[in-house]
Structure formats: C-alpha cells, structure tokens
C-alpha cells in the first residue's frame, strides 16, 4: 500500500540518520512498534514537547494524542522554534500557568488510516487545506505524522519510483509487444502461405470437380444408352417368353397327337401280325392243295385214258397253286416289309416320345431361364436407371463442388489479403508500441 510504503521509507530514513542501520534494517510489524517517542499526551508539559523536538531534529510535526493514543492535533516545529527564539520564551516555559499547558499550540491536522489508497489519502488531506501535514493511524491510534514537505517529497519519490516502474514496465511491454508482433508477423506469413496453398488446392479441386462432372455426364449418357438397350433386351426377352409359351402350347398339342397316334400304331402292328398269320394259313392251304394236285396226277397216270380230263384239271390246279404260291410269297414279302416298317415306325414313335419329353424338359428350362432373364433384365434396367440418376446427381454435386471450390478459391484470396493486412497491422502495432513507450518515458 502507498501509506505503508511511506511509513517504511520514513522509518528507514530516520534510522539511517540516527543509527546508520539502513542497509541491515529489518522491518518491524506496525502493531509492535512504539510510536510514543513521536507524540505527546495532551496533558504533557511544553518542556516535554521541546524535548521531543530536540530528540528528533528532523521532525517537523509532533502529534498530540489522548489517553488511548488517538490523535487530537499536532504541534508545529515552527511554533516551538518561535517560542524558543522569543526573548521571553524561557520565562514563559518556566511559568507554571503557561509551561504546563500545550493546548494553545495544538493545530488541527488531517488524519487517515495507513491502509487507505493514495487517492483517498490525498482526498483526506485536501479536505483540510490548512492542515500542516497528515497523521497516519493504525486502527484509529497514532502511527506516524508527516509534514506537507515530507508528504510532498515522499509522494514525489513514489511518483519517481512509479515512473521508473512504468519505464521498466514499458520496456517489458515493448519487448513483449515486439515479440507478439514478430509472432503475429510469423503467423500472418504462415496464414499467407496457407492461403496461397489453399488457393492452389481449391483451383486443383475445381479442375478435378470439373473433370468429375464431365466424366459423370459421359457416364450418365452411357448408362442411359445401356438402360435403353436393357429395356430393349427386356422387351425381346418378353417376346421370347411369348414365343416360348406358344412353342410350349404347340409341343403340348404335338404330344397329344403323338399320344393319340400310339394306339393306331399299335393297331397297325397288330394288323400286320394278323396278315402274317393269314398268309401262313394260305401257305398251308397252298401246300396241301399242291400235295393233293400231285396225288391227283399220280392217280390219273395209273388210270386209263378216260382220266385225261381229270389230269388236265389236276394240272390246272397245280398251275394255279404255283401262281398262288408266287402271289403268297410276294404278299408275304410285302407283309414282312410292312411289319418291318411298322416296327421302325413304332421305334421312331418311341424315340419321338422320348425326344418330346426331352424337348419338353429343355423347353421348361428355357421358359424358366427366359423368365429369370426377363426379370434380371428388368432389374438391370432398373439398376442402370438408378445408376444413371445417381450419375446425374454426381454430376450435379460435382458441379456444385466446383462452384464451392471457386468460392473457396475466392475466400483464399480474401485470406491472403487479410494476412497482408495482418502483416501491416503487426508492423503498425510495433511502431505504435514504441511510440507509446517513448511518450511514457518522456512524460
């Protein structure tokens, strides 16, 4: 505190003048100090006051206190000196009526607690313009008295110390400001470099976004073409499904016809077998007729000439049998051919049935594959359409990114200008701080 520093300075100076202990002085707490040597009681004699001034040659004000040590006023050195230099001063002090009473020498003086601030202490002193000084108290009791000259000198010293402190603080402030300005300049340079790098990155990003937009647009066009082709493929698969359905119906009708022809083919085979049986019967009849004709000829040869007609008839019968045998052989051969043909037809019919079964299975697999491929084609077309939409959205977003990159590039330019302004401001701060410190030192 200001007053406490004043008390310390006064105590140090007095100990230096009286005992030369300034260097090795150890401050004593205020509450433990004895200040009675710098004051008198209001009931003390004038000679006691004079002795106090003699003991402390540098003292200008002697504080007068009551029984508990509270200050009442001060006795000025000038008044004591005037009394001593007066030709009747010794006689007056020897006079019991005057020498035992100091009330006539007590002069009002400003009082302030020692722990108040400087401004309030000065205000307390200013409230009493005629005050010869200032009495400092500790918890209301006398602590120290300062004359106006001492108060002014100590305040001047305090101001000088404050000025020195401000000067040193200004130097530190200047150093710190210079350091901060240098750091600010470095930061501004880094910001500038970063802004420049950001500008280049933004430009590269804008170019990349433009390339992505062009690629996305081309991909979108390609996907649209693929989508169109996929739809054509789906339509073709749908037509193929319809054709496969029609073929399936034809196969079904064909199978029905084949199944219906199977009994007829079997009846034809049975008829061929019956013909073979009839031919065999005829062949047996022919053999027996031929045998009978041969026996008739033999018997006719044994008879006389009257049996010539019978011989002729037997010859005719034999000739007829011969012709019949030739016809039967031809019919038998034709029947064998028909039988073989019918057998071949029956085998082919069975092969056709097996082939139709296989064709039916394959057709069913084709139907399933066509149906699956049709669904897959429609799904692919849908996916391609979604991909085309997504690609278009990518193109839009890439274009938006390009626009934002342009904005970022513009912001980077602004950041470069801000960093340049920051560098200029740092230099201006440094110059202004130097000027401020110089002005403080000059003041």
User: 422 pLDDT exceeds 70?
Assistant: yes
Given the candidates 2.40.160.40, 1.10.287.950, 3.40.50.2000, 3.30.360.10, the CATH classification of the domain at 200-431 is 1.10.287.950
pTM here? 0.38
List where CATH 3.10.580.10 sits in the chain.
2-162
Length of the chain: 443
CA distances 324 to 79, 85, 288, 298, 321, Å, are 199, 207, 12, 21, 5
pLDDT-based confidence at residue 18 (cuts at 50, 70, 90) = very low
Distance CA 41, CA 36 (A): 9
Q: Within 13 Å of residue 44, how many CA atoms lie on the same side as its CB? A: 21
Q: What is the pLDDT of residues 357-366, one digit of tens each?
A: 777 777 777 6
pLDDT on residue 23: 36
Q: What is the pLDDT of residues 143-197, one digit of tens each?
A: 988 888 888 877 777 777 777 777 777 778 777 777 877 787 788 778 778 777 8
pLDDT on residue 99: 54
**Strand 110-113 versus strand 39-41 pairing type:** unpaired
Burial class (CB in 10 A: 0-12, 13-18, 19+), 210: middle
Does residue 23 sit in helix, strand or coil? Answer: coil
What is the chain's mean pLDDT, rounded?
A: 75
- The residue assigned the tokens 């000259």 is 149
Q: What is the pLDDT of residues 153-168, one digit of tens each?
A: 777 777 777 777 777 7
pLDDT on residue 394: 74
Looking at per-residue pLDDT, the higher value among 64 and 205 belongs to 64
List where CATH 1.10.287.950 sits in the chain.
200-431
Q: Both tokens of residue 303?
A: 């008879």
pLDDT on residue 61: 93
User: 140 pLDDT exceeds 80?
Assistant: yes
Q: Within 13 Å of residue 378, how many CA atoms lie on the same side as its CB? A: 8
pLDDT on residue 68: 92
User: What are the residues whose beta carbons fall under 8 Å from the beta carbon of 366, sequence distance 6 or more?
Assistant: 244
Q: What is the pLDDT of residues 200-250, one digit of tens each?
A: 877 777 777 777 777 767 777 776 776 777 677 667 767 767 776 777 777
- How much of the chain exceeds pLDDT 90, in percent? 9
User: What are the residues whose beta carbons fall under 8 Å from the beta carbon of 171, sequence distance 6 or more?
Assistant: 437
Q: Checking phi first, is residue 140 left (phi over 0); if not, alpha (psi -120 to 50) or beta?
A: left
Q: Which fold has domain 2-162?
A: CBS-domain (3.10.580)
Q: Give start and end residues of each alpha helix (H) in 118-147.
A: 118-126
User: 339 pLDDT exceeds 70?
Assistant: yes
Q: Which span out of 248-252, 299-303, 378-382 was modeled with the highest average pLDDT? A: 248-252
Distance CA 108, CA 241 (A): 128
Q: Which span out of 46-50, 79-83, 246-250, 303-307 was modeled with the highest average pLDDT? A: 46-50
User: 74 pLDDT exceeds 80?
Assistant: yes
Angle at 321 between CA 315 and CA 327, to 5 degrees: 145
pLDDT on residue 383: 67
Phi, psi of 107 (to 5 degrees): -115, 135
Distance CA 349, CA 269 (A): 12
Distance CA 276, CA 281 (A): 9
Query: Contact, 419 vs 197, CB < 8 A?
Result: no
DSSP code of residue 343: H
Q: Which span out of 76-85, 305-314, 389-398 was modeled with the highest average pLDDT? A: 76-85
Crossing angle, helix 46-55 and helix 77-85, to 10 degrees? 110
CA distances 158 to 13, 97, 163, 165, 429, Å, are 14, 45, 8, 10, 31
**Strand 61-65 versus strand 71-76 pairing type:** antiparallel
pLDDT on residue 25: 36
Q: Which of 64, 94, 60, 97 is nearest to 80 (CA)?
A: 60
pLDDT on residue 442: 64
pLDDT-based confidence at residue 424 (cuts at 50, 70, 90) = confident
User: 41 pLDDT exceeds 90?
Assistant: yes
Phi, psi of 45 (to 5 degrees): -85, 165
């Amino acid at each position: 505190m200001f007053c406490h520093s004043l008390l310390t300075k006064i105590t140090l100076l007095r100990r230096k003048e009286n005992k030369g202990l300034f260097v090795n002085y150890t401050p004593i707490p205020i509450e433990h100090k004895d200040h009675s040597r710098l004051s008198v009681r209001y009931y003390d004699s004038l000679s006691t006051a004079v002795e106090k001034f003699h003991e402390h040659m540098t003292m200008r004000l002697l504080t007068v206190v009551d029984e508990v040590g509270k200050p009442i006023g001060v006795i000025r050195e000038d008044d004591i000196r005037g009394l001593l230099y007066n030709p009747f001063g010794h006689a007056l002090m020897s006079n019991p009526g005057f020498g035992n009473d100091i009330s006539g020498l007590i002069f009002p003086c400003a009082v302030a607690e020692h722990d108040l601030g400087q401004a309030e202490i000065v205000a307390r002193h200013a409230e009493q313009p005629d005050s010869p000084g200032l009495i400092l108290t500790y918890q209301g009791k006398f602590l120290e008295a300062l004359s106006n000259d001492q108060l002014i000198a100590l305040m001047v010293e305090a101001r000088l110390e404050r000025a020195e402190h401000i000067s040193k603080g200004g130097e530190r402030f200047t150093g710190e400001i210079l350091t901060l300005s240098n750091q600010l300049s470095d930061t501004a340079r880094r910001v500038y470099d970063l802004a420049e790098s950001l500008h280049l990155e933004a430009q590269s990003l804008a170019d990349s976004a433009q390339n992505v937009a062009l690629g996305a647009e081309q991909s979108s066009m390609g996907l649209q073409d693929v989508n169109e082709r996929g739809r054509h493929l789906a339509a073709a698969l749908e037509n193929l499904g319809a054709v496969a359905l029609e073929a399936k119906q034809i196969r079904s009708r064909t199978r029905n016809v084949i199944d219906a022809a199977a009994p007829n083919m079997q009846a034809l085979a049975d008829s061929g077998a019956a013909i073979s049986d009839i031919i065999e019967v005829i062949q047996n009849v022919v053999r027996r007729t031929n045998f009978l004709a041969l026996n008739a000829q033999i018997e006719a040869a044994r008879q006389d000439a009257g049996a010539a007609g019978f011989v002729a008839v037997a010859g005719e019968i034999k000739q007829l049998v011969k012709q019949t045998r030739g016809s039967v052989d031809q019919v038998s051969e034709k029947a064998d051919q028909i039988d073989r043909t019918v057998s071949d037809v029956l085998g082919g019919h069975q092969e056709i049935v097996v082939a139709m079964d296989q064709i039916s299975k394959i057709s069913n697999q084709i139907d399933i594959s066509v149906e699956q491929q049709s669904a897959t084609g429609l799904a692919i077309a849908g996916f391609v359409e979604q991909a085309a939409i997504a690609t278009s959205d990518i193109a839009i977003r890439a274009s938006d990114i390009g626009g934002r990159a342009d904005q970022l590039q513009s912001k980077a330019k602004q950041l470069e200008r801000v960093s340049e302004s920051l560098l200029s401001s740092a230099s201006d701060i440094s110059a202004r701080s130097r000027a401020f410190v110089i002005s403080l030192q000059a003041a």
